[in-house]
Amino acid sequence: MLEKISKNFFLSLSKNKLLNSGAKRWGLRLGASQVVAGVTIESVIDVVRQLNDKGLVCTVDHLGEFVLIKEEAEQSTAICIETLEAIAESGVQCNLSVKLTQLGLDIDKQFCLDNMQKIMSVANRLGIFVRIDMEDYARKQLTLDILEELRNSYDNVGTVIQAYLYCSNDDVKALKGIPLRLVKGAYKESEKVAYQEKEKVDENYFEIIKTHLLSGSYTAIASHDHHIIEKVKRFTEENNISKEQFEFQMLYGFRTNLQEELAKEGYTMRVYVPYGKDWYGYFMRRLAERPQNVSFALKGLVSK
């Protein structure tokens, strides 16, 4: 019960526009610097280089979401392109992750698609994979529609499916052949569309992992849950699924020892590395996911 109250509290905070605005002025305080790799492109490339040196590959995300002004969406598009160019110039092993609401999805679908086309044109030229992050359920179908449009022209783009949604297994089956990141889900959703019990989410999560792997599709298993990770290891070995067909993913700053262990075992281990001034919503969702993350943040704050 306490865990559910804590989760709802931080998810509510994540949508507070006043606090989000203030967070941009505070800088990376409240422990956020432990899970956000600075505010500049230079800072994130430096972090990615350090992670690559440990045998880890990465995906970077310029933080931001729910943009309602066209100029801001255009600026975010330009930063994504600059990030792609910095990745290519530096030679680091890294992909790009984007959020469509940062690129104008809530302004106009076609406007957002146009911005994604600009990003994909550069990513395709540079040979960099782009992952469209999945946001809340209200925007799920719009995200899948834009993905479908982009896949008509580009192979180097995929998205994310969230296991807590009832429709996730059907979505995974429909997206056979498309590289997917599979996650449990980090938004507060109604019981009309999403499982509310952790046990059911965990069960469905492993089901969609198996479904995508058995379809022969490239699968990114994004989880810090060592029980899930061990089950995936056993399942892939029992079904003769090559390590080349899947990867594990974790967030920057979390379970770093486990990340390095998986890389040493020969698995592709990709670290999701966020950066930028608009870190507040991302950080609040991390605090909502696990009560342990709150003490983790407080330790970061008092150590400053």
Query: pLDDT digit string (tens) for 12-38?
Result: 444 445 444 444 445 445 556 678 898
Give the separation between CA 102 and CA 74, rounded to whole angstroms.
Answer: 9
The verdict on residue 290 lying in a domain is no
Q: Please, are residues 250 and 271 in contact by the beta-carbon 8 Å criterion?
A: yes
| AA letter at 195 | Y
Give the relative orientation of helices 256-264 and 226-238 as an angle to the nearest 10 degrees.
20
The verdict on residue 300 lying in a domain is no
The question of whether 125 is a catalytic residue gets the answer no
Residues 243-259 pLDDT 10s? 999 999 999 999 999 99
The verdict on residue 25 lying in a domain is no
The verdict on residue 293 lying in a domain is no
Q: Which two tokens stand for residue 30?
A: 């409240």
The verdict on residue 49 lying in a domain is yes
Catalytic residue among 61, 106, 131, 133: 133
The verdict on residue 77 lying in a domain is yes
The verdict on residue 287 lying in a domain is no
The question of whether 133 is a catalytic residue gets the answer yes
Comparison of pLDDT for 274 and 283, the residue scoring more: 274
The verdict on residue 152 lying in a domain is yes
Size (the chain), residues: 304
Residues 33-80 pLDDT 10s? 678 898 899 999 999 999 999 999 999 999 987 899 999 999 999 999
Residues 120-170 pLDDT 10s? 999 999 999 999 999 999 999 999 999 999 999 999 999 999 999 999 999
Catalytic residue among 139, 181, 270, 285: 181
Q: pTM for the whole thing?
A: 0.86
DSSP-derived 3-state class of residue 91: coil
CATH of the domain at 99: 3.20.20.220
pLDDT (0 to 100) of residue 278: 79
Q: Phi and psi of 219, rounded to 5°?
A: -130, 125
Domain that holds residue 186: 37-278
Reply yes or no on whether the pLDDT at 1 is more than 60. no
The domain tally of the chain equals: 1
Reply yes or no on whether the pLDDT at 284 is more than 60. yes
Give the separation between CA 107 and CA 148, rounded to whole angstroms.
Answer: 20
